[in-house]
Amino acid sequence: MRADGAPLGQREAGADEAGALRAALAAADRQLSKLAAAAGKDAAEILEFQIALLADDALLGPIFAAIAQGAAADAAWAQAMAEQIADYRAAADEYLRARSADIADLRDRVLSALYGGEANPKTGRAGAVICADDLPPSRFLEIDWSAGGGLALSQGSATSHVAMLARARGVPMVVQLGEVPEPADAALLDADEGILEVDPPVARIQALATRQENQVLSRAADLAALENPSISFRGEPVRLMLNIQGPADLDHPDARYADGVGLMRTEFLFGRADLPDEEKQRSVYEQVLNWAGERPVVIRTVDAGGDKPVRGLTEAREANPFLGVRGLRLSLKRPDIFAVQLRALARAAALGKLRVMFPMVTTPEEFKTARRLFVQAVEELKSAGVRASLPEIGIMVEVPAAALTIESFPASFFSIGSNDLTQYVTACDRTNGALASLADPLNPGVLELIRRVAEHGRKLGVSVSLCGDIAGEPRYLETLLRCGLLEFSMSPPALAAVKRALAALSRKSDHV
């Protein structure tokens, strides 16, 4: 069924237009306050914004002034709201653009009250799939979702307030359908695939029901594993960390169950038109440290080059960029740009449990040079009266020469970049699909190097983690644990499955 459409009505300017608008504003305020009181915290916050607008003298002043000049209440109100909506739609920020729907919602609620209409005209039957071009948050909250149901929007956006509410309540939602069908007796909404099917065949319904059941069971098992605070393998605690591109990745619902951030890439900061300044970098690092609290955060200095060119930074036209000036090699060639990142990191290090690692290190001399630059950056900041400190400094182990001579690196920790290590050990370009079977991360040569690094870390009591793709794939876990690794870093969506696999292996290892 459809659940949108602006209220229809026509008013003649009466004797007391100002009074009529005041009454409509008060009615809207009552309705919204009631909804806010019944809704959860997230929804209440959305509605509070609308309630605050109803009491905004700077907004209402010009409307009442127009009415005093002879304008009709509905026209004056709608005109002012149209201006607000246009302002929000013109915003560069997607969040602010999405707020135009909140204003439209408020506009329609007040207009309904002015036309004497019902506040909630069509809520439909429980469990129905609700169709609309877009649905304002307050309408969403008026619908009873307790019997299930879903939301199909021909327009709409995944970042709208209504999308946030739907996610929080587990209401399936599909946006940008383009067209919504006519009302029907039965509809199947597949939010995984983004499909709305009217009068679906029985077989489709059954298939979806089975999938839903499996998802529910699987998610319940995921949560049980995720909530298990720490899991050990052969009596030693195993830590599962996150690989992130930036603070936004920490919004994933499973992220909070991780033991920290094992790899924060910083290339995304350099992907824009300008190289990022110190302050911009520091504020991003600080966000991640704030999120982590007492948990460790490992930030990798920029790993440009290879398959990640950055304009104004990487070398042009290298015959073989994977074997070229990339990672730390590039940073050491551009000490001016490197210094900005080191200063930002040193300032962030004063705020939390920060660790910093360099990518693509080949020799101990490179490491020592980079560390010297870091120490220098800290000293300069301190003598200028800026709070800064030197974090623990480690290296990525991805160049075979570094893995083979690991004991000559005076690093505070090691992180094995298995994607590049595999590419370099097997001499297989990782972007060449024809070599997929040969570029095997379980190649004994690769595993031998992983074992050496793990053993070296164990001997020295320094942390060794693995942050390549294989860390996020449960089928590799046992092999990696048997190489002596106890720390793995993966993307947030991989965490649940790996933790489940780990729990199973942990039980097995305790019985051996």
Catalytic residues: 161, 467
Q: Between residues 164 and 198, which has the closer beta carbon with respect to another protein?
A: 164
Rounded to an integer, what distance in angstroms lies between the CA atom of residue 481 and that of residue 486? 6
Which one among 14, 18, 30, 56 touches another protein, defined by CB under 8 A? 56
CB 260 within 8 A of CB 499: no
Cα pseudo-dihedral 421, 427, 430, 436, rounded to 10: -110
Tell me: does residue 352 bind another protein (CB under 8 A).
Answer: yes
| DSSP bridge pairs for 129 | 150
Which one among 8, 15, 57, 475 touches another protein, defined by CB under 8 A? 57
Which one among 124, 247, 309, 400 touches another protein, defined by CB under 8 A? 247
Cα pseudo-dihedral 397, 398, 402, 403, rounded to 10: 70
| DSSP bridge pairs for 395 | 358, 414
To the nearest whole angstrom, how small is the minimum distance from the Cβ of residue 7 to another protein? 22
Which one among 30, 65, 68, 87 touches another protein, defined by CB under 8 A? 87
To the nearest whole angstrom, how small is the minimum distance from the Cβ of residue 262 to another protein? 19
Tell me: does residue 52 bind another protein (CB under 8 A).
Answer: yes
Tell me: does residue 293 bind another protein (CB under 8 A).
Answer: yes
Give the x/- contact pattern for another protein in 382-421, rule: CB under 8 A. Answer: ----------------------------------------
Tell me: does residue 63 bind another protein (CB under 8 A).
Answer: no
Three-state secondary-structure class, residue 418: helix
Tell me: does residue 94 bind another protein (CB under 8 A).
Answer: no
Considering CB under 8 A, how many residues would be counted as binding another protein? Answer: 32
| CA-based torsion, 280, 285, 291, 294: positive or negative | negative
Q: Between residues 51 and 189, which has the closer beta carbon with respect to another protein?
A: 51
Rounded to an integer, what distance in angstroms lies between the CA atom of residue 293 and that of residue 287? 10
Tell me: does residue 118 bind another protein (CB under 8 A).
Answer: no
Rounded to an integer, what distance in angstroms lies between the CA atom of residue 377 and that of residue 10? 69
Tell me: does residue 259 bind another protein (CB under 8 A).
Answer: no
CB 483 within 8 A of CB 234: no
Helix or strand (DSSP H, E) at 463: strand 463-466
Three-state secondary-structure class, residue 236: strand
CB 338 within 8 A of CB 332: yes
To the nearest whole angstrom, how small is the minimum distance from the Cβ of residue 277 to another protein? 11
Tell me: does residue 277 bind another protein (CB under 8 A).
Answer: no
Tell me: does residue 105 bind another protein (CB under 8 A).
Answer: no
Which one among 53, 173, 175, 378 touches another protein, defined by CB under 8 A? 53
Q: Choose the binding region for another protein from 91-99, 128-136, 167-175, 488-496 (rule: CB under 8 A).
A: 91-99
Q: Between residues 266 and 331, which has the closer beta carbon with respect to another protein?
A: 266
Q: Choose the binding region for another protein from 56-64, 254-262, 356-364, 461-469 (rule: CB under 8 A).
A: 56-64
| Burial tier of 432 (Cβ tally within 10 Å: 0-12, 13-18, 19+) | exposed
Query: At residue 12, what is the residue type?
Result: E
Q: Between residues 279 and 448, which has the closer beta carbon with respect to another protein?
A: 279
Rounded to an integer, what distance in angstroms lies between the CA atom of residue 255 and that of residue 496? 10
Instruction: Please list, in sequence order, all residues whose beta carbon lies within 8 angstroms of the beta carbon of residue 383, skipping any fewer than 6 positions away.
Output: none
Q: Choose the binding region for another protein from 43-51, 371-379, 467-475, 476-484 (rule: CB under 8 A).
A: 43-51
Task: Take residue 434 and report the two structure tokens written for it.
Answer: 């024809």
Three-state secondary-structure class, residue 9: coil
To the nearest whole angstrom, how small is the minimum distance from the Cβ of residue 136 to another protein? 14
To the nearest whole angstrom, how small is the minimum distance from the Cβ of residue 91 to another protein? 7
CA-to-CA separations, 511 to 267, 355, 490, 506, in angstroms, rounded: 44, 36, 27, 9
Tell me: does residue 268 bind another protein (CB under 8 A).
Answer: no
Tell me: does residue 187 bind another protein (CB under 8 A).
Answer: no
CA-to-CA separations, 12 to 25, 70, 71, 141, 243, in angstroms, rounded: 18, 11, 10, 32, 62
To the nearest whole angstrom, how small is the minimum distance from the Cβ of residue 34 to another protein? 15
Provide the binding-site residues for another protein, judged by CB under 8 A. 44-46, 48-49, 52-53, 56-59, 84, 87, 91, 93, 95-96, 99, 102, 247, 279-280, 283, 286-287, 289-290, 293-294, 351-353
